[in-house]
Structure 1
Amino acid sequence: MKNWLICIDDTDDIGTKGTGEIAEEIAHLLQQQQANRTEYVARCLVTRHQLYVHPDIPYTSHNSAMCFQLESHLDFADIKQICVTHLLQESAAASDPGLAILDMSSSYDISALIAFGRAAKKTVKTKEQAYELATELGIDLSEHGGTGQGVIGALAGLGLRLSGQDGRVKGQFCLGDYNQSADIEFTVADILLTSPLQIVLSDSGEVLADDERILLTGKVKAVYRQHMFALLVSRHGSGWVNASKQTLKAY
């Protein structure tokens, strides 16, 4: 069983299926294959990583890469075939898809990969720079249509996920009877027990104790912090409330 980190970028166009949805579909397909070989399959959560927005960088709406970690008995060739087949089938005609696959057990310079990811949030990077680093680190990086410009974001997304301090988890979470129709309180312990979330953090980085109470309101969304999937919360009177849409925009 190996751990793989997989990231895609630039698969969509206005009015088409989003890159995050395609990443979730790929994760599901890979998990289906894994389920044929073992009884237990860990859920893959996709993280969205915001990259630099600049006139010199073509993007659809937000310029973000989508990344997920996979624990699997599948070998590299099978994993890549499933990824590429789905990218070719689902990517928008006008898109420039890129795919990065990292064997997390391999020897690679994690600091160099993280540095590339962080730089891609602030500066314009090139395909040549991405391929050069991928070759140096032994990461499989490939393009699957258009200009292939998405390889930059795909590689950067790996680095940002590995930093453990970047990204918003795609989608929203259902907790117990909470369905957005009415606000409801949960303890931290309840939240961690009934969801894939691993930690509850204040917007200042404080780890909340199990007995702290959280008022859930609106959509319940998570971020990737301290190498964990975290519910971000803000002060609300004497208690806490899940972070607002405005707060989450920074992620």
Structure 2
Amino acid sequence: MTIYLGIDDTNADGTPGTGKIARAAAAALARDFPVLGVTRHQLYRHDDIPATTHNAALCVHLDGTGNAAGGQIFAYAKDFISRSAAPGSNPGICVASDGQIISEVTAFAEDAKTCVLSLNEARTVARRAGMLVEGFGTMRGLIGAVAAVGLAASGNDGRYVQKGTLRDLSGRCTVSVVLAAGVDEVRSTAGAVIADGTVTFQEFPKPALEGGRAVLYVEPDGEGYRDVRSG
């Protein structure tokens, strides 16, 4: 069973971003739950939506077993975010298992990419799905947290900012090394599967979440390839 921990609005200007906080939460949770990855999901950018940078929400994917797993993750996340979020931020967290991703959650998550949504809408969807949610300050982060869970659970949105040992890779690597580190498939922008060769990275591999898999898109670069960010 996969359990999703959505996190949003934990930072303020000049403080570490939500991505860093989500990865820190994942590292701490890994002591008790296998971490499948951390994904970043781009939400709607609009003047009516306060955001420090790009209005992106994060989701930690965890392998959870037992009825108590969701509650344990939620309890830890509440404590961790309350201690780690920047002063003046308005964080929200959402915890749900894959079995709780009802159609309303999916629709809400997709709307969050193109519409201005309300806190009341987020709470209503979470309540109907039986999700565990918590907000701090104005609690506006709940909107992104619920959306991040829905988008991550769809298996077709965003990109991984952490999976396996991908963050340890940089510069030029062979495709075999990239696959061993956590990418499920290397694919050209034209759609061809790349089985060998080398890939040069802008930073570190950030594969797209596509079809429930980590797919790294690349384009030709001299005798090898270079990564193309997607999602």
TM-score computed with the length of structure 1 as normaliser: 0.81
Q: Which amino acid aligns with 2:179?
A: L
What's 2:110 paired with?
118
Aligned residue pairs total 225
Runs of 5+ unmatched residues, structure 1: 35-40
Question: Which one has the largest radius of gyration?
Answer: 1
Q: Look up the SS of the partner of 1:46 in the other structure.
A: strand
**Aligned with 1:88 (options 82, 87, 90):** 82
What SS is found at the alignment partner of 1:78? Answer: helix
User: What amino acid does structure 1 have at the position aligned with 2:114?
Assistant: K
Which whole-Å CA distance do the structure 2 matches of 1:46 and 1:185 have between them? 22
Per-residue deviation at 1:189?
3.3
2:45 alignment partner in structure 1: 53
Give the deviation of 1:113 after TM superposition.
1.8
Alignment counterpart, residue 66 of structure 1, candidates 37, 49, 58:
58
Q: Which runs of 5+ in 2 are unaligned?
A: none
Q: Conserved in 2, the CA contact under 8 Å of 1:214 and 1:242?
A: no
CA contact (8 A) 1:7 1:154 kept: yes
* 1-structure distance, mates of 2:211, 2:119: 30
Residue 157 of structure 1 aligns with which residue? 148
TM-score normalized with structure 2 length: 0.88
Question: Does the 8 Å CA contact 2:10/2:90 hold for their aligned counterparts?
Answer: yes
State the one-letter code of the partner of 2:4: L
Distance 1:217 1:124 in 2: 34
User: Could you tell me how far apart the structure 2 residues matched to 1:78 and 1:217 are?
Assistant: 37
The answer to whether structure 1 residue 197 and structure 2 residue 189 are counterparts is no
Distance 1:127 1:217 in 2: 38
- Deviation, structure 1 residue 57: 0.8
Describe how 1:130-209 pairs up with structure 2 within 5 A. Answer: 130-143=122-135, 145-170=136-161, 173-175=167-169, 179-180=170-171, 184=172, 186=174, 188-193=175-180, 195-204=181-190, 206-209=191-194
How much has 1:224 moved relative to structure 2?
Answer: 1.6
Contact 2:78 2:134 in 1 (8 A): no
- 1-structure distance, mates of 2:92, 2:77: 11
Q: Does 1:230 align with 2:215?
A: yes
Relative distance call for 1:226 and 1:201 in structure 2 (3 A) is farther
Q: Do the aligned partners of residues 238 and 114 (structure 1) sit closer, same or farther apart at CA in structure 2, a change above 3 Å counting?
A: farther
What secondary structure sits across from 2:32 in the alignment? helix
Deviation at residue 150 of structure 1 after TM alignment = 0.5
Tell me, yes or no, if the aligned pair for 2:6 and 2:95 is still in contact at 8 Å.
yes
Please report how far the alpha carbon of residue 13 of structure 1 lies from its aligned counterpart in structure 2 after TM superposition.
0.2
Instruction: Return the alpha-carbon distance in structure 1 between the equivalents of residues 199 and 36 of structure 2.
Output: 26
State the Cα distance separating 1:237 from its structure 2 match. Answer: 5.3
